[in-house]
């Protein structure tokens, strides 16, 4: 092998300098590195594919992605969840182009090969020409392993991967359970999603969900549209009460409003003035005062963001999912969450709050998208300069699973990049 075929990213220490928390510019710019990330990260670890409420019934399915691979997530007749690559084993056509729905089987439109809900090959038209030894059991759709926790469905191509809950770790699992309290006593349900594509490397997004430092700057114009009490809730940078913590395996949490870590602990508080009107509406529907409180607290949502390596995060009141498309293109989904069976007015309020910040027309997301793109544009210059993720190293202290720093520390980014490095070090 000649030297010029050696990838320039062979030196992982130069790509991410752990000690000084510096990231090399190629990390956002090198297509060969991107290809290797797809193999060593997205083909190897647990990747979020769907929330259970998106395909609730037997036979319901949803299209998703694991890295670059389009997949179908589906429940079979017994309710068991399967995930398989959306590709016919014959001549590769996709077997499904409906984003979400219900079916009893998948049939390839090209030559009619039919697959069961578990991806097994059931029917081949005119099979005689394949001979007697054609083995259908060897021609099922390419399956991924799937596991779920708190309604979050993950899939992996790696059949040797550790169990999902071990990958998440105890602290992530604990926070996921706390996050789901915004069901307000009802199951959490995905009630819609905003989708927008951003010309950026996927890691620019990976860095963002536990980055409090950008909030008062990028989202100043959103803050200006809040009432005083709500604005105070978002003034976490000035209050210095929160923290960011490395939760292991690249995951991290940003606790912005520690008083809202566990919504149940707020049950004795008076109803927030901004939601008094809502409490009154819910009371009219005959809910008990305790339920009214629980529902109103849920509408307000919990007080933290949590980022899971490599593609999903929990952000106050919604899920944010990233799908890498190419080295400089990433698709983003912001899933709105509601209460399955909860009062209509409460879910309407959640929808309007989501629209206020999120999505292509929100008061927040377009500004996020703009700065993410600006990072991608900026890294086209100064190739030898490093990206700094060292903020807050000065006063980090040990947390439960890893270091814990100031609410605006870049501890979460360091956690993600250390995991990135660990995965990229593996043999392919």
Partner 1 sequence: MFDTSTSTTALLAEVTEFVWKEADILDRKDYDAWLDMWLVEGIYILPMGDGEDYENQLNLCYDNDKMRRLRIDRFNRGFSISSAPAADTVRTVSRIVIDDVDGDQIKLRTAQHLIEDKFGRQRIWAADVFFTLKKTDDGFKIDRKIAKLLNSGGMLNSFSYLF
Residues that bind partner 1 (CB under 8 A): 99, 191-198, 218, 220-222, 224-225, 331, 336, 344, 347-348, 351-352, 354-356, 359-361, 363, 365-367, 369-371, 373, 377
376 versus 411: smaller Cβ distance to partner 1: 376
Extract long-range pairs of 267-275: CB within 8 Å, 24+ residues apart: 267/293, 267/294, 267/297, 271/296, 272/229, 272/296, 272/300, 273/229, 274/227, 274/229, 274/230, 275/299, 275/300, 275/349
Q: How far is the CB of 339 from partner 1 (least distance, A)?
A: 13
Find how far residue 29's CA is from the centre of its chain.
22
What sign has the CA pseudo-torsion 413, 416, 420, 421? Answer: positive
Extract the tokens encoding 218. Answer: 């990028």
Q: How far is the CB of 225 from partner 1 (least distance, A)?
A: 4
Phi and psi torsions of 419, nearest 5°: -65, -40
177 versus 197: smaller Cβ distance to partner 1: 197
Q: How far is the CB of 366 from partner 1 (least distance, A)?
A: 4
Q: How far is the CB of 251 from partner 1 (least distance, A)?
A: 26
Residue of 263, 259, 253 whose CA lies nearest to 172: 253
Spell 286-307 as b/e; 16+ CB within 10 A means b. ebeeebbbbbbbbbbbbbbbbb
248 versus 359: smaller Cβ distance to partner 1: 359
Q: How far is the CB of 361 from partner 1 (least distance, A)?
A: 4
Q: How far is the CB of 355 from partner 1 (least distance, A)?
A: 6
105 versus 195: smaller Cβ distance to partner 1: 195
Q: How far is the CB of 86 from partner 1 (least distance, A)?
A: 16
Residue of 105, 107, 108 whose CA lies nearest to 93: 108
Residue 18 CA to residue 76 CA, distance in Å, equals 45
Residue of 206, 186, 198 whose CA lies nearest to 350: 186
249 versus 365: smaller Cβ distance to partner 1: 365
DSSP category for residue 180: G
Q: Which residues touch 374 (CB under 8 Å, ≥6 apart)? A: none
354 versus 391: smaller Cβ distance to partner 1: 354
105 versus 344: smaller Cβ distance to partner 1: 344
E strands present in 31-187: 47-51, 60-66, 69-75, 81-85, 100-102, 106-107, 114-115, 121-123, 143-149, 152-156
361 versus 385: smaller Cβ distance to partner 1: 361
Q: How far is the CB of 316 from partner 1 (least distance, A)?
A: 16
Strand arrangement of the beta sheet that strand 100-102 belongs to: 47-51, 152-156, 143-149, 81-85, 69-75, 60-66, 100-102
SS3 letters for 393-417? Answer: HHHCEECCCCEEEECCCCHHHHHHH
193 versus 245: smaller Cβ distance to partner 1: 193
Q: How far is the CB of 50 from partner 1 (least distance, A)?
A: 16
312 versus 346: smaller Cβ distance to partner 1: 346
Phi and psi torsions of 310, nearest 5°: -110, -5
Q: How far is the CB of 216 from partner 1 (least distance, A)?
A: 11
């Amino acid at each position: 092998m000649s030297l010029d075929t050696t990838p320039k990213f062979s030196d992982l220490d130069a790509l991410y300098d752990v000690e000084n928390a510096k990231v090399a510019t190629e990390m956002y710019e090198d297509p060969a590195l991107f290809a290797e990330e797809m193999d060593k990260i997205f083909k190897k670890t647990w990747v979020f594919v769907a929330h259970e409420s998106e395909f609730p019934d037997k036979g319901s399915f949803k299209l998703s992605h694991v890295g670059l691979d389009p997949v179908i997530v589906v429940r079979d007749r017994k309710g068991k969840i399967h995930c398989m690559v959306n590709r016919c084993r014959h001549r590769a056509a996709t077997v499904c182009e409906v984003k979400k729905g219900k079916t009893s089987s998948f049939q390839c439109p090209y030559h009619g090969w039919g697959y069961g809900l578990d991806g097994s090959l059931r029917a081949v038209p005119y099979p005689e020409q394949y001979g007697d030894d054609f083995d259908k059991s060897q021609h099922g759709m390419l399956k991924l392993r799937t596991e779920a926790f708190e309604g979050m469905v993950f899939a992996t191509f790696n059949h040797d991967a550790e169990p999902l809950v071990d990958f998440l770790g105890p602290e992530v699992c604990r926070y996921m359970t706390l996050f789901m309290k915004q069901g307000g006593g009802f199951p959490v349900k995905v009630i819609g999603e905003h989708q927008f594509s951003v010309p950026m490397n996927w890691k620019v997004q990976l860095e963002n969900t536990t980055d409090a430092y950008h909030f008062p700057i990028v989202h100043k114009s959103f803050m200006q549209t809040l009432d005083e009490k709500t604005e105070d809730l978002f003034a976490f940078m000035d209050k210095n009460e929160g923290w960011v913590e490395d939760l292991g395996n690249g995951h991290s949490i940003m606790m912005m409003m520690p008083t809202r870590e566990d919504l149940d602990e707020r049950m004795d508080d008076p109803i927030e003035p901004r939601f008094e009107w809502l409490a009154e509406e819910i009371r009219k529907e005959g809910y008990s005062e305790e339920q009214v409180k629980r529902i109103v607290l849920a509408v307000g949502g919990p007080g933290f963001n949590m980022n899971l390596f490599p593609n999903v995060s929990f952000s106050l009141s919604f899920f944010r999912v990233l799908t890498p498309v190419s080295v400089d293109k990433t698709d983003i989904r912001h899933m709105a969450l509601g209460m399955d069976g909860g009062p209509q007015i409460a879910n309407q309020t959640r929808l309007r709050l989501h629209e206020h910040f999120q999505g292509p027309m929100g008061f927040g997301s377009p500004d996020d998208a703009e700065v993410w793109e600006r990072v991608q544009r900026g890294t086209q210059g100064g190739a030898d300069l490093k990206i700094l993720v060292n903020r807050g190293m000065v006063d980090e202290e040990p947390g439960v699973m890893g270091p814990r720093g100031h609410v605006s520390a870049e501890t979460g980014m360091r956690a993600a990049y250390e995991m990135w490095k660990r995965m990229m070090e593996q043999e392919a």
